[in-house]
Structure 1
Amino acid sequence: MVAEREIRLSDGRTLRTFDGGGTGPVVVWHHGTPHTGALIPPLLSAAADRGLRLVSYARPGYGGSPSLPGRDVASAAGDVAEVLGALGIDRFVTVGSSGGAPHALACAALLPGRVTAVATFAGLSPYGGDPGWFAGMADDRALRAATAGRAARARYAETAEFDPATFTDADWAVLSGAWAALGEDAVKAGASSPDGALDDHLAFVSPWGFDPATITVPVLLVHGADDRMVPASHADRLLTAIPGATRWLRPGDGHVSVLAAYPAVLDWLVAESSLR
């Protein structure tokens, strides 16, 4: 059973945390944009089958964690360090999906003595002003608005609607099946936590606060070849930027269906880390 609690940080903020329990190696999950941070059944079951303890938290602005305007991607490392300190956890592997992927990489870069391996699904690469960064995105309006600042991104949100064509048929198939809870959680977070997505987008198109090239632990980049939300070119950019990274490009998968590889990714994380 998942234990939920609020953890107070050294700066007075609180973060909502989710702990799947157990005594095995720890996996920290970084949720997408938008999500509440809750640990949904397919995440928990694959971890439990492998004797892993799965932990997550709601980033600022999501799921009961107060917003933190101006946060950068790197700030996730400090938040995770304090959350895991409160839970009595030292070393861990970490995985992030979509908007959670850059935050997982931040932990790998900035907590090298604690993170022993990292994997990402459908993750963005750093934005440096190159117009090509947006190429292949079915709907880039939110991120483009974010490049103009907080007020512009907030104005966009007032009339924004999700374009169903952003997801492939494979995405919709898993969202109506094994990963239905993921879609339900995204809808819940989108309605209740608008600041979370806004601040995520601002962080993605701003300096991340760390250089992915400094990551020294094993890195796995998993991406659907047919992803219309975050094109596979972002995995290519990260593969070039991170020395020694491994890429799994999955033909036929989109932004969400790529999560079918989650059990295999957990196996990779354990095999590549020193948590066995």
Structure 2
Amino acid sequence: MRDARVSPVLAILGRMSSTSVTLDLPDGRVLRAHASSADQDAGVVVWHHGTPQSGALLAPVVDAAARRGLRVVSYGRPSYGGSSPRPGRDVASAAADVRAVLDAFDVPRAAFVGASGGGPHALACAALLRDRATAVVSIAGLAPFDGFDWAAGMASDAALRAAGAGRAARAAVVEDDDVEWFVDADLAALEAAWAALGADAGPAGAAWPDGVVDDDVAYAQPWGFSPADVRVPVLLVHGGRDRVVPASHSRRLLELLPDAQLWERPHDGHVSVLHALPVAFDWLVDLGL
């Protein structure tokens, strides 16, 4: 069951077996969700994608998980990858969608792992799905825009600053193509181990621009939950050279979360920090996922 718009990404996974489903939700929306094939008794990681991504399974995520006996579940947030739009959504709204995904794949409990914009959504699920959450990993994730200097160190804050004024203001922003978001380590990662991420992000941003707008508004507006409500262990991982989401965001989350630790990687940027994912999965396994 493959959506034609994500087939180039799924082709990267040709050597892997996976299942994709379209879920009908009570409010009339649909969600496109995916799961890697593994032992049904294996620990499960729910992957929360960044902005923009289709939600399709990414080869380096599935491979790192499989090497540790873990199964990966992923889905496209509203307006991505075949999932219906949900204008006005906040970060907290991810929890109900993820509950439906977990139910569809018969997963009782899972760890929530998010990269970049996926970080806040992973935290939302841990805060609001306490009966299903085992732990959280947030890699290069955003913190709430609650008064700290969130824009310091960003290559550009134009889009997120506009998003703070609402959906119409964010939709009117045209991104500057000359902004240098990525450092050399990021570019090297996109050419090698994390090529699948770049192969997914470009088409996803072009095919589903509303997803980008709605994501940014959700990040820049109240999230709909407090990080203080996350009662499971949280691992924060951040690159010291990140120009997309500066490391100050994870430092801020460290202050707000009841049970968190921060691994800061001084030489990494926004993408190359994903090289830490296998070690983050080791951390989950050590917790007993």
TM-score after normalising by structure 2: 0.91
Distance 2:243 2:250 in 1: 13
Q: How far did residue 244 of structure 1 move? A: 2.2
Which residue does the alignment assign to 1:145? Answer: 162
The match for 1:84 among 102, 107, 110 is 102
Name the SS of the counterpart of 2:150 in structure 1.
helix
Which residue does the alignment assign to 2:24? Answer: 8
Which residue does the alignment assign to 2:10? Answer: none
235-244 or 131-140, which deviates more: 131-140
Q: How far did residue 70 of structure 1 move? A: 0.6
The match for 1:198 among 196, 209, 213 is 213
Superposed CA offset, 1:216-246 (max 9, x none): 1010000001111111100110000002211
Which residue does the alignment assign to 2:38? Answer: 22
Distance 2:157 2:199 in 1: 22
Does the 8 Å contact 1:33/1:197 carry over to 2? yes
Does the 8 Å contact 1:139/1:163 carry over to 2? no
Name the SS of the counterpart of 2:149 in structure 1.
helix
Distance 1:243 1:40 in 2: 31
Q: Tell whether 2:130 aligns with 1:112.
A: yes
Structure 1 letter corresponding to 2:237:
V
Does the 8 Å contact 1:224/1:254 carry over to 2? yes
175-184 or 3-12, which deviates more: 3-12
Distance 2:247 2:218 in 1: 20
Does the 8 Å contact 2:45/2:71 carry over to 1? yes
Superposed CA offset, 1:113-134 (max 9, x none): 2111100100010012x37111
Change (3 A) 1:162 1:106: farther
Which residue does the alignment assign to 1:166? Answer: 181
Structure 2 letter corresponding to 1:86:
A
Does the 8 Å contact 2:46/2:110 carry over to 1? yes
Q: How far did residue 7 of structure 1 move? A: 0.8
Q: Tell whether 2:255 aligns with 1:237.
A: no
Which ranges of structure 1 fall in alignment gaps of 5 or more residues?
A: none
Q: How does 1:52-67 map to 2 (within 5 A)?
A: 52-67=70-85
RMSD: 1.1
Distance 2:76 2:176 in 1: 23
Which ranges of structure 2 fall in alignment gaps of 5 or more residues?
A: 1-16
Q: How far did residue 164 of structure 1 move? A: 5.2
Which residue does the alignment assign to 1:179? Answer: 194
Does the 8 Å contact 1:143/1:205 carry over to 2? yes
Percent identity over paired residues: 58
Superposed CA offset, 1:179-215 (max 9, x none): 0110111001110010111000000011101000111
Distance 1:12 1:87 in 2: 20
Q: How far did residue 83 of structure 1 move? A: 1.1
Distance 2:205 2:89 in 1: 19
Q: How does 1:265-276 map to 2 (within 5 A)?
A: 265-272=280-287, 274-275=288-289
Question: Runs in 1 of length 4+ with deviation above 3 angstroms?
Answer: 161-164
Distance 1:102 1:39 in 2: 19
Q: How many residues align?
A: 271
Distance 1:4 1:82 in 2: 14
Q: How far did residue 135 of structure 1 move? A: 1.1
Structure 2 letter corresponding to 1:238:
L
Structure 1 letter corresponding to 2:260:
A
Does the 8 Å contact 2:68/2:285 carry over to 1? no
Q: How far did residue 44 of structure 1 move? A: 1.1
Which residue does the alignment assign to 2:52? Answer: 34
Which residue does the alignment assign to 1:250? Answer: 265
